[in-house]
Chains A and B, each alone.
Chain A
Amino acid sequence: MTLTNYRNYETLHIAFSPSVNVFVGENAQGKTNALEAIYFLAMGKSHRTHRDADCIRWNCSDAQIQSEVFVHGKVRRLQIDFHQGAKRASVNGVNQAKMTDFVGQFQVVLFAPEDLQLVKGGPQGRRRFIDMELGQTYPKYLYHLSQYQRALQQRNSLLKNMLPNASALLDVLDAQLVEHGSEVLLRRLRFLDRMKQLAADIYTSISDGREELALDYACSVAPMTDSEPPDKSRIQSLFSAALERRRSADMQAGHTTVGPHRDDLLFTLNGQPVQSFASQGQQRTIALSLRLAEIDLIQQEVGEYPVLLLDDVLSELDDIRQRNLVFNMSQKVQTIVTTTSLFQLRDKLQADVRLFQVRSGIIQNEG
Chain B
Amino acid sequence: MWGFPEPIQHLVEQFMKLPGIGPKTATRLAFCVLDMSAEDVHEFAVALEDVKRKLTECAICCNITEDSPCSICRDPSRDNHVLCVVQDAKDVAAMEKTHEFHGRYHVLHGAISPLEGIGPNDIRMKELVQRIGTSDIREVIVATNPNVEGEATAMYIARLLKPFSVMVTRIAHGLPVGGDLEYADEVTLAKALEGRRQI
A-to-B contact residues, CB < 8 Å: 139-140, 143, 147, 150-151, 153-155, 157-158, 161, 163-166, 168-169, 171-173, 175-176
Does B91 touch A at the CB level, under 8 Å? no
* Shortest beta-carbon contacts, A-B, top 5: A163-B119, A139-B186, A158-B114, A150-B148, A143-B187
Q: Give B19-47 interface residues, CB cut-off 8 Å to A.
A: none
Contact of B119 with A157 in the complex, beta carbons under 8 Å: no
Dominant secondary structure of chain A at its interface with chain B: helix
Does B139 touch A at the CB level, under 8 Å? no
Does B172 touch A at the CB level, under 8 Å? no
Dominant secondary structure of chain B at its interface with chain A: helix
Which of B112, B114, B117, B148 has the most CB atoms of chain A within a 10 A radius of its CB? B114
Binding stretch for chain A, among B4-12, B56-64, B75-83, B152-160: B152-160
Identify A140's interface contact among B115, B155, B187, CB under 8 A.
B187
B-to-A contact residues, CB < 8 Å: 112-115, 117, 119-121, 147-149, 151-152, 155-156, 159-160, 185-187, 190
State whether A175 and B114 are in contact (beta carbons under 8 Å apart), knowing that A147-B148, A164-B119 are contacts in the complex. Answer: no
Query: Which chain B residues border A171 with CB–CB below 8 Å?
Result: 159
Identify A157's interface contact among B115, B156, B159, B185, CB under 8 A.
B115
State whether A163 and B151 are in contact (beta carbons under 8 Å apart), knowing that A140-B187, A143-B187 are contacts in the complex. Answer: no
Contact of B148 with A151 in the complex, beta carbons under 8 Å: yes
Identify A176's interface contact among B114, B115, B151, B160, CB under 8 A.
B151
11 more contacts with CB within 8 A, not counting A172-B152, A172-B155, A176-B155, are A140-B190, A150-B147, A151-B148, A163-B121, A164-B121, A165-B120, A168-B159, A169-B112, A171-B159, A172-B112, A172-B156
**Shortest distance between the CB of A135 and any CB in chain B (Å):** 11
A–B pairs, 12, beta carbons within 8 Å: A151-B152, A154-B113, A154-B152, A157-B114, A157-B115, A161-B117, A164-B119, A164-B120, A168-B160, A172-B112, A172-B155, A172-B159
Contact of A140 with B149 in the complex, beta carbons under 8 Å: no
**Shortest distance between the CB of A173 and any CB in chain B (Å):** 6
Q: Which A residue sits closest to B160, measured CB to CB?
A: A168
Q: Which A residue sits closest to B155, measured CB to CB?
A: A172
Query: Which chain A residues border B115 with CB–CB below 8 Å?
Result: 153-154, 157
Query: Which chain A residues border B187 with CB–CB below 8 Å?
Result: 139-140, 143
Q: Which A residue sits closest to B112, measured CB to CB?
A: A169
Query: Which chain A residues border B186 with CB–CB below 8 Å?
Result: 139-140, 143
**Shortest distance between the CB of A141 and any CB in chain B (Å):** 10
Query: Which chain B residues border A168 with CB–CB below 8 Å?
Result: 120, 156, 159-160
Q: Which B residue sits closest to A165, measured CB to CB?
A: B120
Query: Which chain A residues border B148 with CB–CB below 8 Å?
Result: 147, 150-151, 154, 176
Query: Which chain B residues border A157 with CB–CB below 8 Å?
Result: 114-115
